[in-house]
Amino acid sequence: MKKLSLKELNRVDIHTFKNQDKSPITIVLDNVRSMNNVGSAFRTSDCFALEKIYLCGITAKPPHRDIEKTALGATRSMEWEYIKESSQLVKQLKKEGYIVLAVEQTNESVFIHEYSPLAEEKYALVFGNEVNGVSDEVMALIDGCLEIPQFGTKHSFNISVSIGIVAWDFFSKTQLKVKRNSIP
């Protein structure tokens, strides 16, 4: 077994990426304060070829070196937009036919492994502030709430980890067609 080189990974260039079909999944960052988390959201969204990222409220915008540190150039490949009011964005996304789901712990949340996204639907996944979570204004507008099961002493994952888990879950359930060598 040998690790693949960057050339052997055969990744597309930014121009090709921008023109390829994307997963109908949009990420909404609702008042995310860490620029490293913002950069990670860009990088993860690029890896899964997600449609777009919306940066809302106090969420930092590129260009910034702390965002680029974790984005590794994904701010140039990913479509993104800044919208001041998260709640106004959610209203607009719903008008455009998106199913808007917050990733939050509530009395009505559904564990992600029990949720079955449909490949033909468009989804907007809302991730909230690292301390306060998704804003109450946005929570009043969402179509549903997803929760990542947890079994330790901490009450939440880091937002960058949450984005990776949920994006992979949605992508694997709706888009994954790639096959690789199996492990014995």
Residue-range domain boundaries for the chain: 15-150+157-174
Q: Which of 124, 169, 171 is nearest to 21 (CA)?
A: 171
Q: Which of 19, 21, 39 is nearest to 29 (CA)?
A: 39
pLDDT value of residue 175 = 83
Q: Are 26 and 50 in contact (CB under 8 A)?
A: yes
Q: Are strands 110-111 and 80-83 parallel, antiparallel or unpaired?
A: unpaired
Global pTM value = 0.94
Straight-line distance from the first to the last Cα atom of the chain, in angstroms, rounded to the nearest whole number: 13
Cis bond before residue 24 (omega within 30° of 0): no
Q: Which of 52, 49, 174 is nearest to 117 (CA)?
A: 174
Q: What is the CATH number of domain 15-150+157-174?
A: 3.40.1280.10
Q: Are 67 and 33 in contact (CB under 8 A)?
A: no
- pLDDT of the chain, 184 residues: tens digit per residue: 999 998 899 899 999 999 999 999 999 999 999 999 999 999 999 999 999 999 999 999 999 999 999 999 999 999 999 999 999 999 999 999 999 999 999 999 999 999 999 989 999 999 999 999 999 999 999 999 999 999 999 999 999 999 999 999 999 999 876 555 655 6
73-76 long-range contacts (CB < 8 A, ≥24 apart) are 73/14, 74/39, 74/42, 74/43, 74/45, 74/46, 75/39, 75/42, 76/14
Whole-angstrom distance, CA of residue 80 vs CA of residue 40:
14
